[in-house]
Amino acid sequence: MNKIPKSIGPYSAYRIKDNLLITSGQLPINPETNSIDGITFEDQVKQSFDNIENILESENMTFEDILKVKVFLTDLDNFAAVNKVMKELFNEPYPARTAFEVCKLPADGQIEVEVIAYK
């Protein structure tokens, strides 16, 4: 069973070259159902980061290897929930991060996360 969700368009979930890994935006898609199952916003945040973790593990990387996180939110009022989950997953020094509020995301997701990692 593949733990990385199937892309919803003509793109790769990630690419790696010379130990530099760049992901596409990871929606909170459950790889088992290939749909967004998260009821709460926090569930969706956790699923997006679970997808990132599965990508990292497929290349023998961890959250410690992440240099940059880019977060897209449909409601910036949910920013505190992102911080809460990230504090559970990351240790200091935290990766660099940028967050944007967008009007809509694919598949009616409320969050999309992409990362750059290097090992």
Judge whether 85 lies within some domain.
Answer: yes
- Which residues neighbour 19 within 8 Å (Cβ) at sequence distance 6 or greater? 118, 119
Report the CATH number at residue 106: 3.30.1330.40
Map tokens 């929606």 to a residue.
27
pLDDT of residue 65: 99
Judge whether 6 lies within some domain.
Answer: no
Distance between CA atoms of 18 and 7, rounded to whole angstroms?
Answer: 23
pLDDT of residue 39: 81
Residues of the chain predicted below pLDDT 50: none
pLDDT of residue 88: 97
What does the DSSP 8-state code read for residue 92? S
Number of domains in the chain: 1
Judge whether 89 lies within some domain.
Answer: yes
Distance between CA atoms of 40 and 20, rounded to whole angstroms?
Answer: 32
pLDDT of residue 2: 80
**Residue numbers of the domain that contains 34:** 14-118
